């Protein structure tokens, strides 16, 4: 029994062992630097902030998985848009919440479909396509709200930050449900499994009879929808919306996905990995804050760490081949 458990945790077999160890080490490090780092309250904070990054990472991973240099740099913009526009649709009324979510997801689907069209039919590199789309979405949000967030957030949404038990808050539960749902979808459904296969080898997928267009459109649309959902959760958690409030989430989403083991070349990656990656990146930010570093230096270090991780991971892939 014990041997089985050890075998299951073997880092070369289990992709989650290394990130979990890193998380534990970083919590310990944080505790050494600042008393109270491992308090229930702070752990709760870290997990809750990670949840928002996780949703962004799920959105990003869906697009990274499809391969062909797939990446979605409009994740942050779509989240901001959704945070800004969402409240307009429900206007403080909890019963209109499903309608508001549906409306925002519809807009996100259109954005995803435009991204996919540009990438697949006009052969625009995904990096460029989604970067420009990010600007378009920001403009759309500004035009739609005239820069003034209107409508208020239903009370039930504000509960997302409330504690359920110990460090567990409502947002964490919602996120876990989303992770489980997406993970099951990707592993069990035909469309989900095609995403992995198309990402792993597009030509082989085509020759097996899998429709590349359908799968790619789905991945981009699902990614944008997930980002829109993330924006909704963000505004609920923070209590108010601002223009471009989620723009930093684009980089965070790529960071969390890559740290969580998603291959930038496609075909490999999990949502659980994205969650662990998000926690690692959030603790890093937390530690840097605890060190009282000025904002600029913090961002500098975060970016450098991400670059190093990218270099190590992409090199690792090459070495393995």
| Contact residues: another protein, CB under 8 A | 190, 193-194, 196-197, 200-201, 203-211, 263, 267-268
Q: Please report which residue ranges of 74-169 form alpha helices under DSSP H.
A: 75-90, 97-120, 126-145, 155-158
Cβ atoms 146, 155 nearer than 8 A: no
Q: How far is the CB of 28 from another protein (least distance, A)?
A: 33
* CB of 155 or CB of 206, closer to another protein: 206
* CB of 198 or CB of 227, closer to another protein: 198
* Sequence-distant (≥ 6) Cβ neighbours of residue 270 within 8 angstroms: 15, 61, 183, 186, 260, 261, 262
* CB of 7 or CB of 110, closer to another protein: 7
Q: How far is the CB of 36 from another protein (least distance, A)?
A: 42
The 10 Å Cβ neighbour count of residue 70 is 27
DSSP E strand stretches across the chain: 163-165, 168-169
The Cα–Cα gap between 277 and 174 comes to 18
- DSSP bridge partners of 165: 168
**Kind and range of the H or E element at 36?**
none
With both helix axes pointing from N to C terminus, report the angle between 271-290 and 249-259 in degrees, rounded to the nearest 10.
Answer: 120
Q: How far is the CB of 313 from another protein (least distance, A)?
A: 13
* Sequence-distant (≥ 6) Cβ neighbours of residue 191 within 8 angstroms: 185, 214, 215, 218
Q: How far is the CB of 65 from another protein (least distance, A)?
A: 11
**Kind and range of the H or E element at 185?**
helix 170-188
* CB of 231 or CB of 267, closer to another protein: 267
* CB of 137 or CB of 264, closer to another protein: 264
* CB of 80 or CB of 263, closer to another protein: 263
Q: How far is the CB of 70 from another protein (least distance, A)?
A: 15
* CB of 218 or CB of 249, closer to another protein: 218
Q: How far is the CB of 122 from another protein (least distance, A)?
A: 17
Number of H helices, E strands in the chain: 14, 2
3-state secondary structure (DSSP) of residue 285: helix
Q: How far is the CB of 183 from another protein (least distance, A)?
A: 15
């Amino acid at each position: 029994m014990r041997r089985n458990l050890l075998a299951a945790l073997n880092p070369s077999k289990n992709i989650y062992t290394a990130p979990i160890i890193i998380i534990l080490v970083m919590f310990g490090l944080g505790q050494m630097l600042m008393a109270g780092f491992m308090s229930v309250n702070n752990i709760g904070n870290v997990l809750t902030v990670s949840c928002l990054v996780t949703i962004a990472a799920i959105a990003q991973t869906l697009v990274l998985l499809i391969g062909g240099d797939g990446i979605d740099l409009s994740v942050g913009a779509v989240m901001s848009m959704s945070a800004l526009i969402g409240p307009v649709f429900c206007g403080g009324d909890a019963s209109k919440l499903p309608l508001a979510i549906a409306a925002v997801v519809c807009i996100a689907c259109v954005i995803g479909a435009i991204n996919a069209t540009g990438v697949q039919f006009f052969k625009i590199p995904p990096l460029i396509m989604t970067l420009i789309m990010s600007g378009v979405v920001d403009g759309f949000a500004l035009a739609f709200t005239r820069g003034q967030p209107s409508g208020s957030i239903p009370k039930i949404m504000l509960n997302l930050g409330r504690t359920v038990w110990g460090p567990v808050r409502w947002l964490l539960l919602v996120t876990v449900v989303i992770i489980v749902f997406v993970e099951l979808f990707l592993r069990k459904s035909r469309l989900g499994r095609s995403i992995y296969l198309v990402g792993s080898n597009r030509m082989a997928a085509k020759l097996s009879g899998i429709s590349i267009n359908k799968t790619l459109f789905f991945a981009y649309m699902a990614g944008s929808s997930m980002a829109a959902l993330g924006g909704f959760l963000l505004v609920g958690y923070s209590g108010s919306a601002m223009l471009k409030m989620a723009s930093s989430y684009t980089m965070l989403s790529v960071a969390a996905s890559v740290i969580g083991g998603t291959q930038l070349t496609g075909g490999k990656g999990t949502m659980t990995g994205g969650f662990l990656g998000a926690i690692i990146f959030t603790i890093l930010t937390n530690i840097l804050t605890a060190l009282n570093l000025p904002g600029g230096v913090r961002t500098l270090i975060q970016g450098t760490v991400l670059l190093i991780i990218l270099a190590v991971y992409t090199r690792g892939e090459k070495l393995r081949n």
